[in-house]
Homo-oligomer: A and B are copies of this chain.
Amino acid sequence: MATYRGKRKTPQRDAVRDAIAAAGRPLSAEEILAKARKEVPALGLATVYRHLRYLLDRKQVVTVEISGSTPRFEPAQLAHHHHFHCRECDRVYEIAECPFHGQPHAPPGFRVENHEVTLTGICERCARQVPGSRSS
């Protein structure tokens, strides 16, 4: 396979990178495709994934896993933060606070390199609404 090497500057690359950077929230692959197609209409989903993998390898983008949904992607250089997942509207929010001060604890011999915290519940927006009413 002609592996993606990132040696050239192309409109597709910029479109994918910009889509992720411009959104104020983590996007799914399909959402990135939709946004990037405003710049490059012929863009294919495979190309989005290729750039995604490249950006993940270079640690310019990180994956945000959401229970029961497809992965989302966000810029990696954001300040350290965690996520809040609203079970009502399915939105994911950034949470600035980190419960760890220093390295998280693990059993003897385990080397901790990273940590992820996800809070689940009802977001401020949904908390104000009548249960059962519409959302978006």
Interfacial chain B residues near A57, Cβ < 8 Å? none
Q: How many residues of A contact B (CB 8 A)?
A: 36
Cβ of A106: which chain B residues have Cβ within 8 Å of it? Answer: 84, 95, 119, 121
Given contacts A100-B99, A119-B104, contact A65 B63 (CB under 8 A): no
Contacts of A127 in B (CB 8 A): 109-111
A132 on interface, CB distance cutoff 8 Å:
no
Nearest B residue to A62, CB-CB? B67
Instruction: Indicate whether A120 reaches chain B with its CB closer than 8 angstroms.
Output: yes
Asked whether A95 lies within 8 Å of B120 as measured between CB atoms, the reply is no
CB distance from A127 to the nearest CB of B (A): 6
Q: Which residue of B lies closest to A114 (CB)?
A: B120
- Interface flags, A48-74, vs B, CB<8A=1, else 0: 000000000000000101111001000
Integer count of this chain's copies in the complex: 2
CB of A3 to closest CB in B, whole Å: 20
Chain A positions 92 through 136: 1 when the CB is less than 8 Å from some CB of chain B, otherwise 0? 010101011000111111111111111111111001100000000
Provide the residues of chain B in CB contact with A110, threshold 8 Å: 84, 93, 119, 121-124, 127
A117→B113 CA distance, assembly (Å): 14
Q: Which A residues are within 8 Å of any B CB, using their own CB?
A: 63, 65-68, 71, 84, 87, 93, 95, 97, 99-100, 104-124, 127-128
